[in-house]
Amino acid sequence: MSVTLHDVEAAARAIADNVIATPTVHSPKLSDMLGAHIRLKLENLQYTASFKERGALNCLLGLGEADRAAGVIAMSAGNHAQAVARLAGRLDIAATIVMPKNTPFQKVANTEALGATVVLEGNDLAEAAAFADAEVRARGLALIHPYEDPRVIAGQGTVALEMLEAAPDLDTLVVPVGGGGLIAGCIVAAKGVRADIEIVGVQTARCPAMLAALHGTGMDVRTDTLADGIAVKRPGRTTREIVARSGTEIVLVEEGDIESAIMLLAEAEKLVVEGAGAAALAAILAHPDRFAGRRVGAVVSGGNIDPRLLSGVLMRGLVRLGRLVRLRVEIEDLPGRLAQLTRAVGRLGGDIVEVEHRRWFHDVPARKTLVDLLVEVRSPAEAGLLVDGLASEGYEVSRLGTTSEMR
């Protein structure tokens, strides 16, 4: 199977009326911070908040009447599932989606709400795929593969076409890599338009499956990563061949890099982004010298993140930045002493988020108690001033945990 620039251009025409041509925006804040000219391709603004709509629609439009009548099946950890569910419904095609049992609740609910029949099967995408293949044979369904299909690859390649149309001066594209459909399509499209452009793929250090497949290494491949959208143990054969022929470099990012990128996009750009969607920016954060001075287009591939997980990432980010600190203070166990302490914290510029005041579980004299405080401050320097200020007022105070513990 081969995919050409002509295929990507044909896909762009086919899907134009039903997929958003998302903006490619310049980020002055990120550019100044990272020393590169950064543009973000906001695929999180698609209807289902992911680039997956492009390939799914191009593949569905290429089905014959018999396949449409029989219905389609897809396996997915979430984003491809929602894309197939929505677009199959719009085309009046019955869709069955096989998702791993550990798929986040939000993605399962969203997929069902879009009209598909969801089957939870297998502990990972590979096991879900095996079940989907069996259903294809048993029920005669058409498989809409998330990445190992030339029509899907061509559809995903329209991301790069739009980026280069909006910002023709880009010299580097940074693209998240899971099964490889997005990066393979972007390689075909971008290299077809500009042979000299550089493509950089991004995987998590926990799940470097494409990197391992390219170099034949025995790297450990795990799927327990914040970037679950690119946690694919076995990349596609076609996508791997396209990446290999192009000589594309794959860089790895750590979980902390992804968390930092999610928080930075939320704070600097007011964007809600999932782990996989933040991977491209995470690579630039983790390897600043690699991209310094370059005109970089980063694909923000998706925004489907569980609200509870997002909340946790943002709060952990405040800890990592030294803006959320835990203090332990010893006070006399007398009426009014806790109120005095909280007033002192406020006077010194701290905003108390949580208070834990328990008398019976600490190794302190019976007439005293320990109070654990979770306090928000504006900067690490202010945290130090808060601790020093409390000590100067006679409190015995210690700081619990450090920024490094959160990395």
d(CA 372, CA 397): 10
Crossing angle between the packed helical segments 5-15 and 181-193, to the nearest 10 degrees: 110
- What residues contact 294, with CB distance under 8 A and at least 6 apart? 36, 37, 171, 172
Crossing angle between the packed helical segments 52-61 and 5-15, to the nearest 10 degrees: 90
d(CA 323, CA 319): 6
Q: Under the phi-then-psi rule, with left for phi > 0, alpha for psi from -120 to 50, and beta for the rest, what region is 121?
A: beta
Q: Which long-range contacts (CB under 8 A, 24 or more apart) does 333-336 make?
A: 333/359, 333/366, 333/367, 333/368, 333/369
Q: Which residues pair with 332 in a beta bridge?
A: 368
| Catalytic, out of 41, 52, 107, 191 | 52
Are residues 189 and 161 in contact, defined by beta-carbon separation less than 8 angstroms?
yes
Q: What is the CA radius of gyration of the chain?
A: 25
Tell me, yes or no, if 52 is annotated catalytic. yes
- What residues contact 154, with CB distance under 8 A and at least 6 apart? 3, 7, 8, 10, 11, 55, 58, 185, 188
Which residues are catalytic, by number? 52, 301
